[in-house]
Structure 1
């Protein structure tokens, strides 16, 4: 098994990607924990919760099930999980296991980061999208004014990724996850990007998926090791997210998936990059791949000024100026400050082109 090791400022942790390893989780729980709380959602619980619980004795482990969807990344759900941890008498030698997609991972990770000033947690991703969110230790909940505005940097003690759980994903969740793999390919190299463009998401084999996941995870792992707190190149991982987060907030969380919003945001970043740097990027090829794989590119009527206002609430904004990750070429990214007037023009042109697709 080809495991990936990530070195954070506090500790190193393994990322294990394989089939059927949800039945071997106890093997990777290296400490003698006083108790374990598994956090999952109501969709994943029906499929995989019993598999996880079977690893441990009944008197040692508890489970909490939250509603599925982005709406659960709220202060109310966060507070509920803190209450459950207290009711079950978790202590500083307890463990939280986050079983699910990015919402569960972000939420349970933030609970772990703040319960008794921090306890261990393990990520057990069950979506393609969570290959990105489960690595690097960024944990958070949403505020009604923006996504992931309340959070912390808090690495897990392990990421255990059973790709067999991905077989139950809906087409929209597969699209969502692959948008983040596209992002990592664009950060990395043209070969990886072309591999993805040659992939039909309706006909994925586990072997192709494992290969793409490992490549994407290695891209992210290398970046977060060198820039854990997002002071430099880790900002490149926000490619496509400036517009994506604004779309999610404006349309309503859950109307389109996070990854579908990132796909639109990445296409927008390509468009802005071409105009800003007078370069030719694979914009049309990427747009065609999105269409062929049924990404929802048709947006409802949007108020551009309102979108810009939401974008300016993003945590990456500096001195009220929007910072966008742009590309001079695949593998050559930069962070550029975009003023409101230019951003308005870019958005107007981009949204018009999408409507004409």
Structure 2
């Protein structure tokens, strides 16, 4: 990509760069003069950073003409200047990585992807409301205790330890792929984890490091086993302590993503299946991190919220793991058959909203596409 010509020609020095920037900034701000120009910040940047900003603003200014009024070009101009010090791809990078980065961090794709979708009609919204208002079946305490004992038995004799170094390496590759090569919706929120400095690999810790507290026990019962405990309910079952130390979990308000570092052997099938299982767990946990706050807020407000926060993530996990099959680093970890432990309710939501509508709701907070307003 090259900068578009202005009446001053191609920028050749600081003065040309200043005028080119001011011209592009004016186009993106659409004549708004109340806020001072950002040239003062840009002028102090290094030459490579200034070049990135000018090319990025030129790209967005051209694309904005077809983006429609839903795209906030004023905000985009500021986002690009702020993003430049943390840029990943320079203009001319093969594979359109520069273009994808610019369109994501400027907010253009965040605005235009949903604009191409149609909200569900009244009949579809009614069907979606029925699903959202239906709480999933709650297992009895006796049945759940049996399940806990059986699952904890997997961990009586772990066959080996999984090195955290390997997990960190896979987590880093996964975040890179999700941001730069994966399905678009996951990576186009400028203020989302993939662009705000979050380091997924550094967040990964051994599940055994998780504190064994009553709150964590109840969270595991809710998230992993679909058992929303009653207020004040206590669970002292030893099996739950074993599972807490060997189950994946994410701390939404903190920094840690817990993944089991020990492998239960037969519970996960033959040894050659273990890397794929761990990769799937990492994908599931990263997708939890990428859920839009507005989506989570809506999920908490309906009886069927667990379908939205867990079963939908299962659907997305299978989709994203399969989509990564062509990646040089992640592809070898993808099993021949990618399984998903989602419920029929989650499948119905995807069929009614459409795959793109579901992703717009989950990643971008546009919950009107799944019938939640």
Please confirm whether the aligned pair reaches a TM-score higher than 0.5, indicating the same fold: no
The structure with more helix, counted as a fraction of residues: 2
TM-score using structure 2 length = 0.22
TM-score using structure 1 length = 0.23
Greater radius of gyration (CA): 2
